[in-house]
Structure 1
Amino acid sequence: MSNHPSDLETLLRNDDFVQWTLRPTAEGDARWEAWIGGDTERRALVDRCRSAVLAVHAAESHVPADMLAGEIWEKMQGALRPKIRWMPYAAAAAVVLLLAGAGWWWVNGRPEGKGNMAMEAPAVEKGENGEISAVNNGAGLKTVLMVDGSRITLSPGARVHFQSLPGPDARNVRLEGSAFFEVSPDPKRPFTVFAGKVVTRVLGTSFRISGERSITVAVRSGKVSVSHAGDNSAWILLPNEQAVYDAGRNTMAKSVVINKTILENPVPPTPRFSFDETPAPAVIDELSGTYAVNIRYDRRLFEKCRITVSLEEGTFYDKLDVLCKVLGATYEIVNNEVRIAGPGC
């Protein structure tokens, strides 16, 4: 862990980190202390970022806490490039000094390394019933790929639970923390996210859910339906609209997204699945690991098979169809796992 620009940016744009800084809780203290551990560099990074959050919040007190993460990033750029954006002098000076002390250097008006964040996989646990539990224990953004082609980008500390091979009627995800969702359309199987008492239902769209006590659902594309416990009505959100749920009052309010940075998802594209004279087991194992799906096959039968194939497009099932066609094999789904059978090579 270091004070690299991407590490600083990740914390300063993290909704959970900002809300914990402004409204500390015992649960938040425990989670972030666990993340820091005994790492002195992480401790220094957290201290600097908290100071930057408080500095901007003092000058921008009109900005709701659940929207401040994006505001901080906007104001940071404004502080370092004052001809483009303005911010109060005190906050600008505080942020510049803090970032300079942390080793944040700018070249030609742009942060070094921006846009080059490596896509990392979260820690994954597989349950006996086929449920996947993926958690981001790191400081950067981490991505979960689902078999239907949907993608979930987890902020630090976030966790999701879902079936590795969902049924034919629904796709359900339980979320703890903040995450950005890019959902593949499937009218026959609605995609539902359960976050605390907030339920978000979609067919195909991209949106962010963040917060714990105050939960925000903000839509970048498509349309979602949002409801909460104790209220039978549902809010329909269109692009650039958000709903904010107040757990203390058990109320929800709808508004326009003012801070568009909360709709950004700075994770690079999905890794390419292109193989050239690659042993079949390596291809199968990469699919299995990427999508956290158990794939059973006779390794001895396929270990001599070398294949050249591009699996760039489509869902996990599309990739599996192409792979099996190349291998002259078939597959079936039994007890939450994929079983491949064929003559081998």
Structure 2
Amino acid sequence: MSYDEIESLLLKYREGKCSPAERDRIHAWYNQVQSGAPQAELSDTEKSVLKARMWSAIQHERKASGKTRTFLPRLSPMTVRIFGSVAAVLIVSLSLFYFFSNKPAPGTVAGDTLLLEASQEGLVSTANSTARPMRVKLVDSSEVTLAPGAALTYPRQFSAAKREVQLTGDAFFNITKDSRRPFFVYSGKLVTRVLGTSFWVKKGREEHQMQVEVVCGKVSVFENESIGSEKDASQTKHQFNKRVILTPNQRVTYFEESGHLMTSLVDKPVLLTAHAELPPAIYKNMALPEIFQRLEDAYGVDIVVSGDAVNECTFTGDLTSMSLFDQLDLICQSNDGSYEVQGTRILVSAAGCK
């Protein structure tokens, strides 16, 4: 039924002037309301007006009943249930409308508050809604590869002092070097600053975690303390805190709840140069300290030897094309030793040599 029909019939129903057919229509409409079926015929405005009219009628009825009991007919239990149900449905509908109309739109909640100042040319937002990585080329020739579901906001033209972008989700950055204009990536409360390098920014393994992994170059990572303040973050000077510096094959994990930055090695360290440019990793009775030095140079990691016994050990074998940790496994097994990753370093120990 339309708004006018509902209003007219409810008034007649309350006054006891409905015909049997009209009463059946009211009951049918009441059952529809009770079942939760959508009332598509009513607009939000009509619902609001109808609710106000109903509330006014209820108040009028209460006042009238206090003065005289003969002005209005007594409401039947069915009538009370109808008016109560209609009012409840309208109140819930209006409450939901109010909740969602006042709820921040996607991209404006705490983790995604806009942190960029709009330049004269304006901002661009690109989202990857596909199932494949999407490459975005910036005005300075830098490239950002967005993982599925990721989004990037950036200015059409960078300022003369700095380059800034904002990321939601996971992405790989290959940044053109510009020593005069540092490049900033804002991702929630995590800030990554580089001059020119390649790195990942992505979600951590657990909720409320973010990670930065460096492929080449040097990266500075901060916590942005200005996030979460009452002021507009895009108009507030960013307050960077707890800086850590990362080099290739290093990773930092940011724990949003505690604000802690924990550094470590990436799961699969990669060579700083291509395999083709390196000599074959074939060793014959070569001392372990010399092999470890080659691994340090090849992967940019620190390998620390614990105890003098390791310095007397040698290794013979072909480690070409093996990953860093596979090489260390084979070397340590052949010399009754072991290794463990402690932060950004690898600690090697051995009881003796076979």
> What TM-score range do you get, normalising by the shorter chain?
0.3 to 0.5
- Taking structure 2 as the reference length, the TM-score comes to 0.37
Higher relative contact order (CA 8 A, sep 6+): 1
Task: Flag the structure with larger Rg.
Answer: 2
